[in-house]
Amino acid sequence: ELVTTSDEAPSVAFSAPDLRFVGMGGGRVGAVIANDLSYDMKQSAESLAAMREAMGPQGAVFLSGPLAGIVAPESQQVAMESLEWRDIDFSGLLAWGLKDEKPPMSEKDLIDLGTMKATNMMTKVNGKTAATVEEASVSAANFTWLIPSDIRADTKGAVYDFTAYVPETEEEAMKVLKDAGLDKVTGDGKMSWAWNEKSGAADFNYVANLDKVASLQADMAFSNMKLDEIAAAMDDGEEDAVLSNGAFKSLNIKLEDQKALDAIFSLAALQMGGTGEDLRMSAPAMIRLSGAQVAQMNPRFTDYVNAVADFVAKGGSLEISAKPAEPVPFATLQANGATAPQTMPDMLGLTVTHEE
């Protein structure tokens, strides 16, 4: 058992009564196998005070009242029945480390984190079960040189109980969550990252589903991230070689709401006063008012603000899409974002749309 303590951070206790390393040597590990693995995290009065100070007066509001248990639960425990991490290989990187040298980019096969699977995971908050997951896995974790090139992960058979984050004494907040069906929510998720060092193309995908509550899907694509060109830039002394060579290709984020916004506004009303319905009815006007000045920068912003306001008012789906005619270099994005932010929507072909 390993325990860490700090006056300004939560205490953490890690336990692995059955932990085995198989086939370890030369920078390779055949397997790490653990049964009945767990860790506990507990907040102290000092750590909560440090968090309030770090968040500032506005953020600290969320660390009091019914939202405190959600933002910073006093006690959190994660346990899993089994963990298998297989085929880890650092041998290529180790060889250069022993020479105390940074490997050149011609050395591509340096790191492979193998595969990982955790089964029957359980998260408890303040002693109450907040989530169970049948299986969480990483099916690939490959690197080209020191850059991740193939990462795939997914979660299956998850069940969430969001009432675990609220003390039983907060009866109104508990009722809000139960009325929204947030005491038993099934879900799943997956993530992937793929980078081709020869073509320079890279794609990121993320999907998360909370059945009958909300879902999120995000896709991003990049180009011009060729390893040989990045290597040449580094040889020429470029400190940000990826920034100077890579380019943004596209973005698509889609958020679908079924019950999440109802619950969010009802919980916020408990903190701010009034009812969730009244707060939600007033929010779109505040969004449009605050967005009016921004809209003067570029007419497109009016559509963006209206789409967000309609989504908050009516739910449904909100989709953010950016598809420039040609990939935009990262360096151009950085420069224009700092000096001419009003040109960014046109440069990226940015759209924000709402559908009921």
pLDDT digits (tens, 9 = 90+) for 297-327: 888 899 999 999 999 999 999 999 999 999 9
Residues 6 or more apart whose CB falls under 8 angstroms from that of 87 comprise 30, 31, 112, 114, 115
Secondary structure tally for the chain: helices H, strands E = 11, 15
φ/ψ region of 303 (left if φ > 0, alpha if ψ in -120 to 50, else beta) reads alpha
Residues 83-109 as b or e (16 or more Cβ within 10 Å = b): bbbeebbbebbeeeeeeeeebebeebe
Per-residue pLDDT of the chain (356 residues; tens, 9 = 90+): 555 666 667 788 889 899 999 999 999 999 999 999 998 888 777 766 776 677 666 555 555 555 555 666 778 899 999 999 999 999 999 999 999 998 998 999 999 999 999 999 999 988 899 999 999 999 999 999 999 999 999 999 999 999 998 888 889 999 999 999 999 999 999 999 999 999 999 999 999 999 999 999 999 999 999 999 998 888 888 878 888 889 999 999 999 999 999 999 999 898 888 889 999 999 999 999 888 877 778 888 999 999 999 999 999 999 999 999 999 999 999 998 888 888 999 999 999 999 98
Which amino acid appears at position 93 of this protein?
L
Which amino acid appears at position 355 of this protein?
E
Residue 306 CB neighbours (<10 A): 17
Helix residue ranges, H only, the chain: 45-60, 68-71, 91-98, 171-179, 227-235, 241-245, 260-272, 276-295, 300-314, 330-339, 344-348
Residue 56 CB neighbours (<10 A): 9
The confidence score (pLDDT) of residue 341 equals 86
Q: How far apart are CA 159 and CA 131, in angstroms?
A: 5
